[in-house]
A = this chain, B = another copy of it.
Amino acid sequence: MNLILLSKSDFINDTDVVLTDRRFQHILQVHKSQIDDNLTIGLLDNQIGIGTVKKINDQSITLSTTFSQPPPKPLPITLIIALPRPKMIKRILQTCASMGAKKIYFINSYRVEKSYWQTPLLQPEKINEQLILGLEQAKDTVLPEVILKKRFKPFIEDELPNICKNTLSLVAHPNTKTPCPHFVDEATTLVIGPEGGFISYEVEKINQAGCRSIHIGDRILRVETAVPVLLGKLFD
C-alpha cells in the first residue's frame, strides 16, 4: 500500500478522515505510523496528497488531509482479455490497475471454460477490491472500468469494430510473423487470448474487426506475465 486510497465517505469534515478497516491495520502494522507522521494518500478518482496522523487509538486512526497533485497518467489502452481461470483473475486485475489500464473487457472464447463465468470473483465488489489493491500499489486513484462480455460473436462483430476505431488495434497471438511494436504511445486496443490461445475462427473474426495479429516471441507466457510484457513494449 504505497498510497492510502480514501473515498468521500471516509471524511468526517472538510479535511479529516477516520479509518477503521484494513487501511487502519496497514498504517499501524506496516507503516507503524505515529502522531504527526505523513502518509501518501489519494482520493478515489481524484487527486493525490498527504495525510497527517492526528489521532490513533485501538479502533481507528484520524488523518488530516491535503491534496495537491493529479494521479499518474493512465495508459491510453483498452484491454480485451479472454476470461482467465479464476485463480488468475485477482492478479491480472491488480496488474492491469497498477499499470494504469482504465478499461478492461473480459470476453468469452472457445477455450474459456463455462464454469469460469460463475466465480464469485467476478462480482463487482470483488473486482473492485483487486483493482483498489493495484491502485494502492501504483499510487493511482482512478478506478478502472471492468466490463464482462459473455458472448464472443456479438461482442466481436457489433462492439469491437467501434472500440478499435481510431486506435492502433492489435491481437496478441502466437505463430504470427509481426512482433509487438515498441513504444507506440498512441491510443491502443489490445486483445489477449486465453491459455491455449484463440482458435483460428476467433482470430479471423478479431482480425476482421480491425485488429492486427502480433506476437511476443516463441515463449508461451501466462496471461498475467503477457500483460505487463505487452504494455511494457507498447508504452514508455
Interface residues of A (CB under 8 A from B): 2, 72-73, 95, 98-100, 137-140, 179, 182-183, 216-222, 225, 228-233, 236
Q: Within 8 Å CB of A225, what residues of B?
A: 95, 98-99, 228
A48 to chain B, nearest CB (A): 10
Q: What is the count of identical protomers in the complex?
A: 2
Which of A100, A138, A230 is the most central at the interface, judged by chain B CB atoms within 10 Å of its CB? A138
Residues of chain B contacted by A216 (CB below 8 angstroms) = 232
Given contacts A228-B225, A236-B179, contact A218 B72 (CB under 8 A): yes
Our pick among B73, B183, B221 for the contact of A138 (Cβ within 8 Å) is B221
- A217 to B138, alpha carbons, bound, how many Å? 10
- How far does the Cβ of A1 sit from chain B's closest Cβ, in whole Å? 11
Closest 6 CB pairs of A and B: A232-B232, A229-B232, A138-B219, A72-B218, A228-B228, A182-B182
Could you give 14 example pairs across A and B, Cβ below 8 Å? Answer: A73-B218, A98-B219, A98-B222, A99-B221, A99-B229, A138-B221, A139-B220, A179-B236, A182-B183, A225-B228, A229-B229, A231-B232, A232-B232, A233-B233
Q: Looking across the interface, which residue of chain B has its beta carbon closest to that of A220? A: B2
A123, B183: Cα distance in complex, Å: 39
Among B139, B230, B232, which residue has its beta carbon within 8 angstroms of that of A230?
B232
A19 to chain B, nearest CB (A): 21
Task: Kindly name the residue among A99, A140, A225 whose own CB sees the greatest number of chain B CB atoms within 10 A.
Answer: A225
Chain B neighbourhood of A233, CB < 8 A: 182, 232-233
The smallest beta-carbon distance between A112 and chain B, in angstroms, is 16
B73 touches A222 (CB 8 A): no
Interface centre among A98, A183, A232 (most CB of B within 10 A): A232
Q: Is the CB of A139 within 8 A of B232?
A: no
CB distance from A229 to the nearest CB of B (A): 4
